[in-house]
Structure 1
Amino acid sequence: MARTPRVVAVFFGRRGAGSFNAAGVTGLSRAAERGGFVPDAVWEPDPARRAETIAAAAARADLIIAHGGQGEAGVQQVAPRFPSVAFAVTQGRIAGPNIACFEVLQEQSAFLAGALAGWWTRSGTVAHLSGERVPPGLRGRAGFAAGLAHARPGATLLTGFCGDQHDPGLAGSWTAAQSAAGADLQFAMLDGGRPGAVAACRAHGLRAIGNVRDWTVEDDVFLASAVADNGVALEAAIAGFLGGRFEDRRIGLEEPAAVRLALARDVDPALANRLDALRDAIRSRAIVVPEAYDGPEWRPAAAA
C-alpha cells in the first residue's frame, strides 16, 4: 500500500490573522479532504526565521508549500539541501529542479480595481497601500496603477508600502495620511493590518477596495474587492504534486471562482458593464496587464 504523502504548508504570519493566510488554510483543508491526507500547517511570524522554519519542515515532508511571495527567498536557500523534497511557492516566480510556483494572478483583478477607481473617484486622487515589498505585491500594485491610468490618465496615485502586512495601527496611520493628502478611495493589499485600514477609511470618509476575498459582502465601506483566492493556488500545488504534474501554473480571470472583481451593490450598472468589457479584453489579451510600476512612491510626511 502506498504511503500517504507528507504535505507541510508554511504560513508567514500568526494563526487566525489576515485573509491571505485564511484563504490558504481553507485551500489546504479542501485539498487534504480530496487527497485523503492529514495536512500539517506551520506558522512563522518572524521574517528572520523563514528559511530556518522551511528547512525544519522539509526534514519531515515530501511536499513543502511556502504560502506567499514571502517564502521565495527561504525556498531558494533551502530547496537545494533537500533534493528529494518538492517545494511549491504560492504567488511565487522562482525556479529550481525541485521547485514549482502556483499563482492566482492578483494583478489582473487589481487592473480592474484600478479602472474602477479611475472611473469612480471624485477627487482624482486614489491610494494604494501594502506592507512588504514582495514580488506578488509589487505586481498587484503595478496592475492597479495600470488600470487607473487606463481609465483616468490624469489621476494621482498615492502608492506606498508601510513595511508590515499585519500591523493595524501602522495601516491605520498610513490610511489617515493618504486621506489627508486627498485620496477618496484606497486599494489595500494587507493581511492582519487590514482592520486598521478599514477603520481609518470609515473614519475619514474613504471607500475601500479589498483583495484576496470578496469584502463587499462583509462591510459597506468596500466599493469592490479584487478577488484572488490564493487557496486555489495552494490546491493546484497539491493536485500537481499528487498527480505527477509538478510544474508552474498561473490562474487568472479565465477562472472567476479564483480571480475576479467583486462589486458592491451601489456600483452603477453602466460602470459594471464597462468593467465586464475590460475583463474580456484582458482575457483575450487585447489588454496585457503590466507587472512593473515605475511611477512615484509615496510616504506619509511623518514616515519620510
Structure 2
Amino acid sequence: MSMSPMRIDRRSLLALAGTALAAGSVRAQTPKKVAALFAGRIDDRGFMQAGYDGLKLAEARLGVSVAFRQGVQPKPEELTAALRELAAAGPDLVIAHGGQNNAAAKAVAAEFPAVRFVVTQGNVTGPNLASYEVLQEQSAFLAGMLAALTTRTGVVGHMSGIRVTPGLKGRAAYAAGVAHADPKVMLLTNFSGNQDDNALSEKIARAMIAKDAQVIFTMLNAGRNGVIAACRELGVKQIGNVGDWTAIAPDVFIASAFADSGRALFDAVADFTAGKFAAGEVKHLGLQTPEAVRLVMAPSVPVEIRGRIEAAASSIIAGSLKVPVEWTGAEFPTPV
C-alpha cells in the first residue's frame, strides 16, 4: 500500500528542517580561523615568541583555529608573498606580527577585501586593516632613566637590529629617559641590521663595553644571548625588553622593559571574535595596562631609584610627562 503524497511531503519537510537545523548548529560552532605571520623564530625568547604565545593564548581562551608561518625573512617581497599565501588559504583574520609588515599588509589587505588583517606594532589602516600597538617606548623611557641612574662610568648602551618604527621609537624613548634622569650620561646606540645574530651582537656589545658602557639596553630577539655572554664575562649589567629577563638571567639583568607584544595579538583576536574589529584604527596599550607594559626591576635596584622610576611612570600615565618618539644623533658604528 502506498503512502499518500501529502504524508511523504510532510516527512520530507521535517527531515529537511532537521538537517538544516543541524547544519546551522555546525556552522554556529565552526571556529573562526586565524592565520599569523612571524618574520623570525617563534622560539627566539623575544618579540616573535611573545607574539606566538599570544596566538596560542587566543586559541586556548577564544576557541579560534590557528595557523602560522615563521622564519620568513623581513624583506618586503618575502613578507608580501607569505601574507598572500596565508590569505589565499581562506582564514577569517590574518595577523602580521611586527611593524616590518606595514607595507606588505597594506598591499595584501587590498587584494583580499573579504579577509580582515591586523599588524601588531604597526601603524597602517584600511577598510579591512587595523593596527594594534603595545607602547614599548613607555617602558623603554623608564629603562633609560634606570640606566642613567645606575651607571658608574657615565656611559650606557642601546642595541637593536632592524630599523622598524617601534624599534626606532623605543630607542628615542630610551635616549630621552637617559637624558631626563641625567643629561651628562653618554649614550652609545646601534642598529646592526639583524635581530638574531649572536656573534654580531656579542661583537657590538664588547665594543661598547670597551668604550665604558656600564649598562646596555637590548632590543633584540635571539641575538640577545650574545650580549648576555659579553656582559656576564665583563661584569656589565643589561636591561632586557619584551619579557621579564630579570627572572631568566638575574646575574646579568637589572631590569626589563616589559612590553608584551603578544597582548596586542591576543586583543586583536578578542576584538575580532567579539564583533568589534577595529578596521581603520590604530589601537594602543601602554603603562596604564601593566600586564602589557611596565618596567620590571631587580630587587637590587635601590629604593630611592625605584621611587624615581615609579613617579615617572605615574606622570606618563597621567599625561604630564610626554615620551619622545624621535631622536637624532650619532650612532655607534657596527664593528667590521
Same fold (TM over 0.5): yes
1:202-213 pair list within 5 angstroms: 202-213=232-243
Cα offset for 1:296?
Answer: 1.9
Match of 2:252 among 221, 224, 227: 221
- 1:83 aligns with 113
Conserved 8 A contact 2:156-2:186: yes
Identity %: 45
Q: Do the aligned residues in 1 keep the contact of 2:140 with 2:173 (CA within 8 Å)?
A: yes
| Cross-structure match for 2:302 | 268
CA distance in 2, matches of 1:121, 1:56: 48
Shift of 1:99: 1.0
- Tell me the TM-score normalised to structure 1 length: 0.96
Measured against aligned partners, the alpha-carbon deviations of 1:46-74 in whole angstroms (never above 9, x if no partner) come to: 22311100110011221110011121121
Match of 1:101 in 2: 131
Q: Is the aligned partner of 1:281 residue 2:285?
A: no
Tell whether 2:328 aligns with 1:294: yes
Query: Any stretches of 5+ residues in structure 2 without a counterpart?
Result: 1-26
- CA distance in structure 2 between the partners assigned to 1:174 and 1:110 by the alignment: 20
Contact 1:18 1:166 in 2 (8 A): no
The alpha carbon displacement at 1:36 in A equals 1.1
Letter of the structure 2 residue corresponding to residue 199 of structure 1: A
Q: Give the match's secondary structure for 2:117.
A: strand
Matched, 1:252 2:286: yes
Paired letter, 1:59: A
In 2, Cα distance between equivalents of 1:47 and 1:210: 22
Measured after TM superposition, the shift of residue 217 of structure 1 is 1.1
Query: How much has 1:204 moved relative to structure 2?
Result: 2.0
Identify the match of residue 173 of structure 1 among 179, 182, 203. Answer: 203
Distance in 2 (alpha carbons) for counterparts of 1:174 and 1:238: 38
Residue 36 of structure 1, aligned match among 55, 63, 70: 63
Taking the aligned partners of 1:45 and 1:39, their CA distance within structure 2 comes to 18
My pick for the range that moved more, 171-180 or 66-75, is 66-75
1:126 aligns with 2:156: yes
Partner Cα distance (2:153, 2:163) in 1 = 27
The count of residues paired between Structure 1 and Structure 2 equals 302
2:262 match: 231
| 4+ aligned runs moved over 6 Å, structure 1 | none
Amino acid at match of 1:132: I
* Residue ranges of structure 1 left out of the alignment (5+ in a row): none
Aligned equivalent of 1:188: 218
8 Å CA contact retained: 2:72, 2:82 = no
Once residues 164 and 173 of structure 2 are traced to their aligned partners in structure 1, the CA distance between those partners, rounded to angstroms, is 15
- Shifted more, 268-277 versus 41-50: the winner is 41-50
1:54 is matched with which residue? Answer: 83
Matches within 5 A, 1:68-79: 68-79=98-109
CA distances 1:63-105 after superposition (whole Å, capped 9, x unpaired): 1100111211211221111111111011111121111111111
SS at 2:296 equivalent: strand
Out of 12-21 and 181-190, give the one that drifted further: 12-21
Which amino acid is the alignment partner of residue 269 of structure 2?
I
Give the Cα separation in 2 of the matches to 1:180 and 1:290.
Answer: 29
Describe the SS at the equivalent of 1:292: coil
Q: 8 Å contact 1:64–1:85 — kept in the other structure?
A: yes
Report the CA distance between 1:45 and its aligned residue. Answer: 3.0
Partner of 1:6: 33
CA distance in 2, matches of 1:152, 1:176: 24
User: Which of the two has higher C-alpha Rg?
Assistant: 2
Q: In 2, Cα distance between the equivalents of 1:36 and 1:130?
A: 35
- Deviation string 1:192-216 (CA, Å, 9 cap, x unpaired) is 1011111111122210000001100
- The answer on whether the counterparts of 1:18 and 1:193 sit within 8 Å (CA) in structure 2 is no
TM-align CA RMSD: 1.2
- More divergent stretch after superposition (78-87 vs 42-51): 42-51
In the alignment, is the contact (CA less than 8 A) between 1:44 and 1:53 conserved in 2?
no
